[in-house]
Amino acid sequence: MIKTDVVIVGAGPTGLFCAHQLGIIGLKCEIVDNLDKIGGQCIELYPEKPIYDIPAIPECTGEELTNNLLKQIEVFKFKIHLNQRVEKISKEGSNWKLTTSTQQDFLSSNIVIAGGVGSFEPRKFSIKECEKYENNSVFYSIKDKSIFNSKTVAIFGGGDSALDWAIELSKNSKVILVHRRDEFRGASSSVDKIKQLEKENKIELFTKYQLSKISGDNNLEGIEIKHDDGKVKSLKINYLLGFFGLIMQLGPILDWGLNVDKKTIPVNTESFETNQKGIFAIGDICSYPGKLKLILSGFHEGALAARGCFKNAKPDEKLRFEFTTTSKSILKRLGKSN
């Protein structure tokens, strides 16, 4: 059980800046994100696209913004817990208990939900039986590529992830690439490479095919794929990989007893607290009259939510308004004092 002042759900730009605001007022926090990387939509959806409306930064990419936000909180040494989704919350006296999908527990006087449009989840195979083999022989992401060495792997998808993994795994595995269209969405250089590997018999390619059946007892043994014209092919494989992109799901947040309106959480604009005391919502996930789903709005919301958290974390102390330029205590927390 990790005890802290605030747990931030979501390591997107809003959650990261809120952590900075908590740090400068002397609160501790832990950040949790479902993704395997930090940065939310900026990193997952547009890492290389330039953003032009961050105040005082004429142009920066999603990745640069994330790196700078991380640099700004480095001094506080807050822990960021990746690859885990906050699943459950419950009240424990005046605190909140949170449990993640990896069974990590937190006890905190505050929760700041900076969950954006929800957690990003892989789009999965529509064949229900695939669930039985998930994380065993059916995968939607790869953590350890060595498990596929000398095995037969069927990769489904037509985007960059499918193509890149097909190319990479073909070095040590027998790869079958299956896509429901003739055209691929991935980079043309990767498509050329796939065609070349097919010619060299290093990749078997099936287009206009979709998964129609999966079979095996405890272990996956084979699949059937069906062509648009109805023709069916049986393939013996050891592993099945699907790369169909991501969907966003509010998921467990919907079960936390919060008011929810059109997949957003209404808040008061004084502190960004929700209908539950000690739970705040900021960034794309919160709603109030005039809300703009912009990063700059999330920064402002995070600053006010941080101050709201202070009252619950340190009820006997009074928070004074101070500038970072002149406050001795803030400068000390930032490691800038002499």
Residue 277 vs 293, nearer CB to ligand FAD: 293
193's CB contacts (< 8 A; 6+ apart) are: 163, 167
As measured in angstroms, the least distance from the Cβ of 69 to ligand FAD is 10
Residues 130-159 that bind ligand FAD (CB under 6 A): none
267 near ligand FAD (CB under 6 A): no
Residues 80-109 that bind ligand FAD (CB under 6 A): 85-86
Residue 26 vs 251, nearer CB to ligand FAD: 251
Which amino acid is it at 151? K
Q: What is the 3-state secondary structure (H, E, C) of the chain?
A: CEEEEEEEECCCHHHHHHHHHHHHCCCCEEEECCCCCCCCHHHHCCCCCEECCECCECCEEHHHHHHHHHHHHHHHCCEEECCCCEEEEEEECCEEEEEECCCCEEEEEEEEECCCCCEEEECCCCCCCHHHHECCCEECCCCCHHHHCCCEEEEECCCHHHHHHHHHHCCCCEEEEEECCCCCCCCHHHHHHHHHHHHCCCEEEEECEEEEEEEECCCEEEEEEEECCCCEEEEECCEEEECCCEEEECHHHHHCCCCCECCEEECCCCCCECCCCCEEECHHHEECCCCCCCHHHHHHHHHHHHHHHHHHHCCCCCCCCCCCCCCHHHHHHCCCCC
293 near ligand FAD (CB under 6 A): yes
Residue 117 vs 177, nearer CB to ligand FAD: 117
Among 53, 59, 221, 317, binds ligand FAD (CB under 6 A): 53
Residue 114 vs 194, nearer CB to ligand FAD: 114
As measured in angstroms, the least distance from the Cβ of 173 to ligand FAD is 30
Q: For residue 14, report the phi and psi dihedrals to the nearest 5 degrees.
A: -70, -45
11 near ligand FAD (CB under 6 A): yes
Residue 14 vs 108, nearer CB to ligand FAD: 14
> Which residue in 76, 77, 79, 78 sits closest to 24, CA to CA?
76
Residue 61 vs 207, nearer CB to ligand FAD: 61
For CA atoms 27, 103, 284, 90, the dihedral sign is negative
# binding residues, ligand FAD (CB under 6 A): 37
As measured in angstroms, the least distance from the Cβ of 30 to ligand FAD is 12
Among 23, 157, 242, 283, binds ligand FAD (CB under 6 A): 283
Residues 157-196 that bind ligand FAD (CB under 6 A): none
308 near ligand FAD (CB under 6 A): no
Give the integer Cα–Cα distance in Å for 146 and 59: 40
As measured in angstroms, the least distance from the Cβ of 23 to ligand FAD is 17
Among 253, 304, 305, 313, binds ligand FAD (CB under 6 A): 253
Give the integer Cα–Cα distance in Å for 208 and 271: 53
317 near ligand FAD (CB under 6 A): no
As measured in angstroms, the least distance from the Cβ of 45 to ligand FAD is 4
As measured in angstroms, the least distance from the Cβ of 13 to ligand FAD is 5
Among 118, 186, 242, 308, binds ligand FAD (CB under 6 A): 118
Report the residue number whose CB is nearest to ligand FAD: 116
Per CB under 6 A, the segment of 65-73, 147-155, 193-201, 295-303 that binds ligand FAD is 295-303
Site residues (CB under 6 A) for ligand FAD?
9-15, 32-35, 40-42, 45-46, 51, 53, 85-86, 114-120, 251-253, 283-284, 293-296, 298
